[in-house]
Amino acid sequence: MLERARQAVLLRPLDRAAVAERVRALLGDALDGDGAAAELAETLEAHTGGVPRYVDRVLHALRPVQAEQSPPAAPFRVPHAALTRFQSELDRLDPRLHQLLLAKAVAPELQAELLTALLGLDADAAWELLDAARATGMLDRGGALLPIARRAITALTPAERRLAVHRGLVEAQRERGGPLLALVRPLLGTGVGGSGIAAAFEEAADEAFADSPELAAELYAAATAAGSPAAALAGRRARAAALCGDLDTALRLADGVLSGAEDADRAAAAHVAGTVLAHRGLLGSSAELHRWAGSVSGTAFAVLALIGTGQLAPAQQLLAEREGGGPPVLVNSVLTQLAQGVRQSVTEAAATALATLTRASSMLEPVGRAELLPDTPAALAALVALHCGEFTVADSVLRRAEAARMGGALAVRRHRLLRAWAAMLRGDTEIAGRLLSDVGGSPDKLEPRDALVASALRAGIARRESDLAALRDAWEQAREVAVRHPTDLFCLLPLGELAVVAARLGEQDRLAPHLAEAETLLDQLGNPPLWEAPLRWNRMHAAIVSERLDAAEPHVTALAALADDHPYLKVLATAAHGWLDVLAGNIDPASVESAARGLHAAGLRWDGARLAGQAAIRTTDRKAMLRLLGCARALQPSTSRQGTDRHGGQDGTDEPTRRAAAALSEREREVAELVVDGFTYKEIGQRLFISAKTVEYHVARMRQRFGCTSRSDLLERLRSLLGHRSTA
């Protein structure tokens, strides 16, 4: 009848322009211009869905505030006065409708079917109730509560009633066998308990484990607090804690399970404890625990630990006994390849081992986030790659593992430290230092395995940058860490770097027992070329730093014997022979340059430049010296830490001083920077690839030019010219 008399009027929500007009009408001059009105209108539309009465409620509640404050403080919050005006509407609702809206408020992610099932409604009654809910104006077009309505219902309903509805939803979902995580997560921290809720926390934790071990650990703890038996959850809690990096908690929980009586839980706990001990450098104990567990993963990890401690025969026997065991699921296949790859690294060609481990890492990427691993396929592939000069492969496989969060939070530091090591070997000390900083924490806060790599990295970066003070500090840290970490196959790179550092500081004796253990371990494994060669290379450099030709010769001979096993090892062997000639004073410029360029081409750019530079310093043939100096400069890695003005004239130095500094040649500026930093003439010469006499000549010229009568006068003048603060 009405439609025949006149056109129907459809009551639609306000659009943003209409909301903005309403804002200007009710708040007037309280807002700072049209921009503030438009911003508030956008926020109001999001909270209220454009329902006119809700828009007005918020604006009327804002008016007293606007008298003293304009515009509203960010982030925007609906005033409580606007929420309280919902009370009369809620009081007039049918009890079942009120319960439905409350269920939507406490569990907005759940579907309407589950919410109506909670009320025990049939299909027709459910649709009628849902229509009534839409008629309240509190729902958006998709059937979800408007944000302002959800806040009002939550704020105005007693906590006991909200909790009762939430508990009913959880029980209904459990009966259906549906996912519980979204429904249970809001109950964290509420203190709710009971057997049903405890079981729901437990099931939600299992559901969360694959994507978020951190959340799973929190849910397991909540399940225990809500009433689940602690012993029944201890194994899973230990695994979650380990994946989160909380190794102390993981080991405590796992040890408690191992002393219990449930065989299945004890095997899982042995896996957790063995993994924790591997991260702490205790591969011998790790092997025992994993071997005792008896699973496919336990076998793979036991093989890894046995080979890492030099026990090749037991590892091969274990592999043969367990071959083909367990279901052919993805993880079992990956772990079998991991064990095979580590075995291949000591018994077959490096390329074979690298291919196997790289494939294993790629296969694990989709599911590796929730896998608890004593070491990841990516880290082991990177170690093999670093030992055979495949630095690009190492960086690539580690980046992919980081992106996939392989091994969870526990493996993040391991991957980043190995990426830093690859950068350091290439001579990219700035990148290496940045990655090392990203790891965070001092060595005493890291697990022993990571601490050993981190301290050796600090020392290696300092050595390559000729920073003697930093080198001494890093050595002090590394020396203590090395005592805590037994020697194993997978720590030979940091051990070799520290051998050079110890020789540089005249403390070779402190590392001698560790190097003897490394020799014994390699001998037990049959001296595999892949693992032996880099250690020989570093020990040769330790002898060179000590100026001990007799100590260097055995390592050069050993490298020559390994040269045919891989092109990279041939490069090392050639360069080692070149170093021996340089140390003996038998310098052939063509041979040295060829060896240096070979190192550079293999990725060892800093090593190549250093070989050419040291040969240039030691030769007495001026023509050869110039040729080798040119080669050294050409091969020197480019880095923002070297050869640049660190102050850029922005330190307040006056114009005459800047002109005097500008009068320095490029070479004099480089020498002056290093003199002020406290380097000796010999150290400056090694860094700039010039002789100590040439450094002395540059210093004498600067002293004469500036009229300085003593070294202290020159240092003060140079500090002023270069903008350095006194380091006295």
| Range in 466-475, 522-531, 685-694 with the lowest mean pLDDT | 685-694
Distance (Å, rounded) from C-alpha 709 to C-alpha 604?
43
Higher-scoring residue by pLDDT: 689, 78: 78
Query: What's the pLDDT band for 1 if we cut at 50, 70, 90?
Result: low
pLDDT over 60 (residue 713): yes
Residue 325: per-residue pLDDT: 60
pLDDT over 50 (residue 438): yes
Highest mean pLDDT among 167-171, 188-192, 478-482, 490-494: 490-494
Distance (Å, rounded) from C-alpha 134 to C-alpha 514?
75
pLDDT over 50 (residue 547): yes
Query: What's the pLDDT band for 643 if we cut at 50, 70, 90?
Result: very low
Residues 6+ apart with CB under 8 A from 312: 306, 343, 346, 347, 524, 525, 526
pLDDT over 90 (residue 344): yes
Handedness of CA 363, 368, 373, 375 (dihedral sign): positive
Cis peptide before 327 (omega within 30 of 0): no
Residue 262: per-residue pLDDT: 61
Q: Which of 417, 336, 330, 324 is nearest to 365 (CA)?
A: 330
pTM over 0.85: no
Residue 641: per-residue pLDDT: 40
Q: Mind listing the pLDDT tens digit for each residue in 283-294?
A: 999 999 999 988
- Per residue, the 3-state secondary structure of 75-110, as one string, reads CCCCCHHHHHCCHHHHHCCCHHHHHHHHHHHHCCCC
Q: Would you kindly state where each structural domain of the chain is located, as residue ranges?
A: 16-84, 87-178, 312-532, 559-635, 656-722
Residue 433: per-residue pLDDT: 92
The residue to which tokens 């940091």 are assigned? 494
Angle at 160 between CA 156 and CA 164, to 5 degrees: 110
pLDDT over 60 (residue 639): no
The residue to which tokens 């979204």 are assigned? 182
- Which bin fits 75, alpha (ψ -120 to 50), beta or left (φ > 0)? beta
Distance (Å, rounded) from C-alpha 302 to C-alpha 701?
65
Percent of the chain with pLDDT strictly greater than 70? 89
In one-letter notation, the amino acid at residue 171 is: E
In order of 492, 493, 544, the CA distances from 383 in angstroms are 10, 9, 25
State the CATH architecture for 312-532. Alpha Horseshoe (1.25)
Highest mean pLDDT among 68-77, 272-281, 317-326: 272-281
CA dihedral of 491, 497, 501, 503, whole degrees rounded to 10:
90
Query: What's the pLDDT band for 415 if we cut at 50, 70, 90?
Result: very high
Mean pLDDT of 477-496: 93
Contact 514, 495 (CB under 8 A): yes
Angle at 428 between CA 424 and CA 433, to 5 degrees: 70
Angle at 308 between CA 305 and CA 313, to 5 degrees: 85
pLDDT over 90 (residue 367): no
Residue 34: per-residue pLDDT: 66
Mean pLDDT of 580-602: 92
Mean pLDDT of 133-140: 89
pLDDT over 50 (residue 327): yes
CATH number attached to the domain at 656-722: 1.10.10.10
Percent of the chain with pLDDT strictly greater than 90? 44
Residue 321: per-residue pLDDT: 82
Please give the mean pLDDT across all residues of the chain.
Answer: 85
pLDDT over 70 (residue 646): no
Distance (Å, rounded) from C-alpha 392 to C-alpha 419?
10
- Which bin fits 199, alpha (ψ -120 to 50), beta or left (φ > 0)? alpha
Q: Mind listing the pLDDT tens digit for each residue in 651-672?
A: 344 444 444 444 577 778 888 8
- Per residue, the 3-state secondary structure of 331-372, as one string, reads HHHHHHHHHHHHHHHHHCCHHHHHHHHHHHHHHHCCCHHHCC
Residue 501: per-residue pLDDT: 95
Distance (Å, rounded) from C-alpha 414 to C-alpha 307?
20
